[in-house]
């Protein structure tokens, strides 16, 4: 069986970060996606709201860098949740468990976004083989103005991270609901 979903949209609320008893981060939010279409010659727009959940290090990265309205691409699996509400009624919903995310807001970054994999719970500097697909990517590092204009010395060489293996999706700004 195959269970994979890719969504591009904007966060509808800030990330809610909590920790399990074992210390693993669990972050929840929701994403709004939309599609435009014509029905009977009339242009219409359909908006879909989907709850998303991040686990581990990706939950902490999402909490640190994402806010309500942030543009994001998430890749993960569809999950079916069931519970009993306060009135004793059985409730259920589908949500997405995020495995990989790419932040699409380019605040001063010419690359257009930053990719992060949910498998990045290990420090990427300790990994030996970066050529395999779906390897983890580190969180974006902040630079102060002084560091960004200095040439790195021989001792301060930068580690080059591989490009993320995420498909290119051509989306106009008008197609995003926020």
Alpha helices (H) along the chain: 57-65, 145-149
Which candidate, 93, 97, 92, places its Cα nearest to that of 74?
A: 97
Q: What is the pLDDT of residue 132?
A: 34
User: How many distinct structural domains can be found in the chain?
Assistant: 1
- Condensed to tens digits (0 to 9), the pLDDT of residues 125-174 reads 233 233 333 333 444 444 444 444 444 454 555 556 666 666 666 666 66
In this prediction, what percent of the chain has a pLDDT beyond 70?
59
Contact 51, 96 (CB under 8 A): yes
Q: Residue 149 belongs to a domain with what CATH number?
A: 2.40.50.140
Instruction: Tell me the residue range of the domain where 152 lies.
Output: 5-175
């Amino acid at each position: 069986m195959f269970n994979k979903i890719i969504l591009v949209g904007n966060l509808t609320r800030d990330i809610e970060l909590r920790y399990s008893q074992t210390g693993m981060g669990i972050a929840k939010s929701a994403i709004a996606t939309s599609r435009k279409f014509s029905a009977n010659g009339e242009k219409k727009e359909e908006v879909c709201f989907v709850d998303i959940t991040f686990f581990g290090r990706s939950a902490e990265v999402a909490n640190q860098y994402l806010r309500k309205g942030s543009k994001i691409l998430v890749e993960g699996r569809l999950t079916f949740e069931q519970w009993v509400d306060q009135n004793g009624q059985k409730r259920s919903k589908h949500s997405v468990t995020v495995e990989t995310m790419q932040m699409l807001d380019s605040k001063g970054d010419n690359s257009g976004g930053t990719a992060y994999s949910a498998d990045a719970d290990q420090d990427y500097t300790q990994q030996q083989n970066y050529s395999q697909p779906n390897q983890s990517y580190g969180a974006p590092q902040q630079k102060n103005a002084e560091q960004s204009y200095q040439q790195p010395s021989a001792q301060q060489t930068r580690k080059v991270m591989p490009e993320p293996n995420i498909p290119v999706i051509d989306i106009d700004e008008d197609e995003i609901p926020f």
